[in-house]
Structure 1
């Protein structure tokens, strides 16, 4: 019911966030709580950390929880598939849904899992920068490139209109994986090659952005190249999906003043897309809360038996 608070969890690589969401108002009820999470820990330690965060919010008994999780994960079955990704590998093959049901108090009626990038996109589609757009693409820029292709707020993860699995990070630029150009590690590596005598001491992206604003031509060129590349890779898919809004979140989006121009230029440089002036480029309105709002929407919506996030 819309008037019932929806408890949600967002599981990240180093932390877990828990909150109650007012679905009618599309906003958090009180403050979200955040707990550290040992991504390299045992299954018990990780699940215990998630449960510890959940215990700090007053979830109603028998609630349906929304849980935003990174992949790889079987979102319909609630089973971890983490292998070879450097985090949560102790959860491989673990029925996370059953384990959390056992640990959460009061006991939930059910848990509905969805991909963390999809949760972010849904949050912006129902309560943020993509409101009013029937079709939107929401991406997150940080350690990698997360993506969500939204049709009326519903993530589209397969079919000819979206990249494989709806995942932009699986695409390439210049014959290399996109994330070698557009990601924290890609941008830092490019700056090290261009400007540094000591490649072992590389500033983070925020510092590179400050250098660009201060007139460092190497910093400016690296960022300009990265976001033009992102625009060029996205353009054909934006056109195919018939999106009218591109929303950018994630830690790197804090440098929106350095992203928007090159990103637009990269999109506009791709011929025959028909995008013209139809696209709206926006930074996220809820950079921190969007995944929580999206997880609540996912938990509260009527859901067919086969529904599940990526």
Structure 2
């Protein structure tokens, strides 16, 4: 079994993964705007509660900006985990988690998601695929035979779709939880509420979702085509409304020859991907 951690904006999950299946998990709430002591304390307690075997190499999936090779947080002015800036998170985990880990392998959470889906989910059997997560922001990963590509034909700058533009503005100004809520005009409604209203026949809600998501498909189309991806897998909180998300993305993709699918592993995809990444290669 492989021990893993996934840190998100509202929670941290520790899990044991065996044969691409989560066999045990522990979850704790986290305030992404909280102090470093709060955030890292929650992470260490969550990992310790898992009671993994000593000497395990842990896979840890978390969002950027982060120095994944050195294990140092680089969050600054991004509205989450800012108090962690400059902290050697790897050392905190190695010194604080009990039983003591034997090492820590960090990776981007969108990369972990795509790896999990490629290994055991909706992208299984596809040599080249693109994974996209839709939530607070837009995460992405371009995989070739399970390896993350950060440059080359069909790969956006640094492998990050969020650095591109849609309809003359930064992509996340159109496609993100914040952007959808702002476009809808009711800050008391979350994306799932807007989706429910769209299903109930509210034209404005359906139009807002379509007009927010179709541009993402249009932005992705040339990258997916040039990269030679045969599968485009979408996960994250917004993908829960796949009956509305899928058709809008498909319209934006046009005749791009790619299998568009919702994530098959749900919230376990990043955990499975982190476990795969942490294994000896």
Q: Common fold, TM-score beyond 0.5?
A: yes
The structural deviation recorded for 1:156 is 1.2
**Tell me, which stretches of 5 or more residues in structure 1 are unaligned?**
193-198, 270-274, 303-310
> Cα distance 1:297–1:279, how it changes in 2: closer, same or farther (>3 A)?
same
Moved more, 162-171 or 113-122: 162-171
> In the TM superposition, what whole-angstrom CA distance separates every residue of 1:65-94 from its partner, at most 9, and x where no partner exists?
000011000000000101001121121111
The structural deviation recorded for 1:301 is 3.8
3-state DSSP of counterpart to 1:99: helix
- Corresponding position: 1:29 with 2:23: yes
Question: How much is the aligned-residue C-alpha RMSD, in angstroms?
Answer: 1.3
Alignment coverage as a number of residue pairs: 281
Separation of aligned partners in 2, 1:38 and 1:260: 31
Separation of aligned partners in 1, 2:30 and 2:195: 29
TM-score by length of 2: 0.96
Q: In the alignment, which of 57, 66, 73 is matched to residue 64 of structure 1? A: 57
- Corresponding position: 1:250 with 2:229: no
- Corresponding position: 1:289 with 2:268: yes
Counterpart of 1:138 in structure 2 is: 131
Q: Which 4+ residue blocks in structure 1 deviate beyond 4 angstroms?
A: none
> In the TM superposition, what whole-angstrom CA distance separates every residue of 1:21-61 from its partner, at most 9, and x where no partner exists?
10xx210123x110112323332322211110001112111
Separation of aligned partners in 2, 1:39 and 1:212: 30
- Corresponding position: 1:6 with 2:2: yes
Instruction: Tell me, yes or no, if the aligned pair for 2:51 and 2:98 is still in contact at 8 Å.
Output: no
Counterpart of 2:87 in structure 1 is: 94
3-state DSSP of counterpart to 1:29: strand
Counterpart of 1:196 in structure 2 is: none
Counterpart of 1:300 in structure 2 is: 279
Separation of aligned partners in 2, 1:166 and 1:134: 17
Counterpart of 1:46 in structure 2 is: 39
Instruction: Tell me, yes or no, if the aligned pair for 2:67 and 2:73 is still in contact at 8 Å.
Output: yes
- Corresponding position: 1:153 with 2:146: yes
**Tell me, which stretches of 5 or more residues in structure 2 are unaligned?**
none
Counterpart of 1:237 in structure 2 is: 223
The structural deviation recorded for 1:222 is 1.4
3-state DSSP of counterpart to 1:19: strand
3-state DSSP of counterpart to 1:34: strand
Counterpart of 2:206 in structure 1 is: 220
